[in-house]
Amino acid sequence: MYPRTLLDADVKTDSERKVFEELRDQLAEEWEAFHSASWIDRDPVEGARSGEIDFVLCHPDQPLLCLEVKGGGIDSRHGEWYRTEPDGTRERIPDPFGQALDHRYDLERLLKKAPGWNSGTPLMGHALVLPFKSVHQLALAPDAPREILIDRNDLTDLPAAIDRVVAYHRGARDKRALPGPDGVAAVRDLLVPQVEIRVPMAAEFLEEEEALILLTAEQSMLLARMRRDPRMVIRGCAGSGKTMLGVEHAKRLAAEGKRVLLVCFNRALRDHLRNTSAQKGLTIQNFHALCRQLASEAKLKLPSYPEGEAPQRYWDEELPDALVEAIGKLGDRFDAILVDEAQDLSNDWLAALLCTLRDENNDPVWLFMDDNQRVYSPRLEVSREFRPFDLTVNCRNTQAIHREVMKLYGGDVVPDVKGSA
């Protein structure tokens, strides 16, 4: 299964969770199942295009299958599909069989261009899964043959249902290519690639040397998600890779020509990141220093206090207000913002940061948080426009250290550990 376990942030409906569990528990080990398989591609004429397939099933000796999952209050009348809202109203929705077919063609097009696919036109199929509906409850259209519909009764013997879908799509003299072991690897590399990030190590270990970091599956998924989700809040324990992923994504955006701001609250971390990750288009700054910097550029007069005697309102109100006023004079500064240690951010401070964006309502903003490490008193109340994503693996510590740390852990996201025993 990819991912190995299902994250709450990745589950749109109970139907997807149900199908995930049945695929995991019933299919033979030769099958690989990819949940929420996301892709992005660029067409020279139409520009960038993206999509997401509920499930892709891959087996060396079977056709590739794209599964579209629908559940809840869904019904079909004379070939027209509707979703029933909690208040009883019915809304027309696209034909899910058409969606599954489109996903199949998209995946075929991407796979033909994948470096590891050398088998020609792939043999592929699609199916609709209705884990909480029975076929007799639906009036199906001509593009919805029973053979490629898996209902709640079929889920009791899912391998048999998959065999029926495969038999429907596979012809007796079909010349399209089955994946084989190399094809399965190509699909895996396309949908859940292993990502390596070169991270400069601390000078006291190896001057100017680089370490290769092999990302976990969920870290790779996050980088893919950040490509298409403009507002995200990423939560995870210390050692889950939040800072590394934030820096990597900031550098990628800057390389595309965007003006990127990476904010942190620890000056030592800021200085370290400047030394190791400096790049054209990337500004790395801690929050209050940014306020003072832009206020100075706008020639604003800030309150003056003796060293170390500034009152709390200076940090909470006067500096953030100065940032907003400075932007009013200077104009926008950034096209994307990433905030590390966002658990120490307040809502007023976030509002001030948003003022620095070219498009305050739509430009990308990503918040990286650790609920177990709150140094300052402000607590950020994240609005619903920010899509949550949890990093659940501690990649830094050994299992023994992790067990001791967990005795003091108080965050909402309970981490697993990847380190040695």
- Helix, strand or coil, per DSSP, at residue 298: coil
Cis check for the bond before 96: say yes or no (omega within 30 of 0): no
Rounded Cα distance, 348 and 319, in Å: 11
Side chain identity, residue 311 = P
The sheet carrying 62-69 orders its strands as 32-43, 47-59, 62-69, 124-130, 149-151
Q: What are the helix (H) ranges across 314-368?
A: 319-330, 347-354
Side chain identity, residue 321 = D
* Residue-level pLDDT at 402: 43
Highest mean pLDDT among 69-73, 189-193, 354-358, 371-375: 354-358
* Residue-level pLDDT at 208: 37
344-370 CB burial, b ≥16 within 10 A, e <16: bbbeebbebbbbbbeeeeebbbbbbbb
Question: pLDDT exceeding 70 applies to what percent of the chain?
Answer: 79
Contact 339, 309 (CB under 8 A): no
Rounded Cα distance, 70 and 138, in Å: 13
Q: Is 2 a residue whose pLDDT tops 80?
A: yes
> What band does 413 get if pLDDT is binned at 50, 70 and 90?
low
- The pTM score is 0.52
Between 123 and 412, the more confident residue is: 123
The sheet carrying 260-264 orders its strands as 282-286, 260-264, 336-339, 365-369, 231-236, 387-391
* Residue-level pLDDT at 325: 95
Contact 381, 233 (CB under 8 A): no
* Residue-level pLDDT at 399: 47
Nearest to 295 by CA among 347, 356, 342, 365: 356
Unique residue bearing structure tokens 């240690």: 341
Model pLDDT for residues 86-145, shown as the tens digit of each residue: 677 788 888 888 888 888 888 888 888 877 787 778 889 999 998 988 877 666 666 678
Residues 6+ apart with CB under 8 A from 209: 200, 201
CATH superfamily, domain at 196-417? P-loop containing nucleotide triphosphate hydrolases (3.40.50.300)
Residue ranges, CATH 3.40.50.300, the chain = 196-417
Rounded Cα distance, 93 and 47, in Å: 26
Model pLDDT for residues 243-288, shown as the tens digit of each residue: 888 888 899 899 989 999 999 888 888 888 898 888 899 999 999 9
Q: What's the topology of domain 8-191?
A: Trna Endonuclease; Chain: A, domain 1 (3.40.1350)
For 144, phi then psi, to 5°, come to -125, 65
Kindly tell me the sign of the dihedral angle through the C-alpha atoms of 146, 134, 98, 95. Answer: positive
Helices 14-26, 158-169: inter-axial angle, 10-degree rounding: 90
Residue ranges, CATH 3.40.1350, the chain = 8-191
Q: What are the helix (H) ranges across 213-370?
A: 217-226, 242-255, 267-277, 287-297, 312-313, 319-330, 347-354
Q: Is 53 a residue whose pLDDT tops 70?
A: yes
Average pLDDT, whole number, for the chain?
A: 80
> What band does 216 get if pLDDT is binned at 50, 70 and 90?
low
Q: Is 407 a residue whose pLDDT tops 60?
A: no
Model pLDDT for residues 236-248, shown as the tens digit of each residue: 777 777 888 888 8
Model pLDDT for residues 138-176, shown as the tens digit of each residue: 666 666 788 888 988 999 999 999 999 999 998 878 888
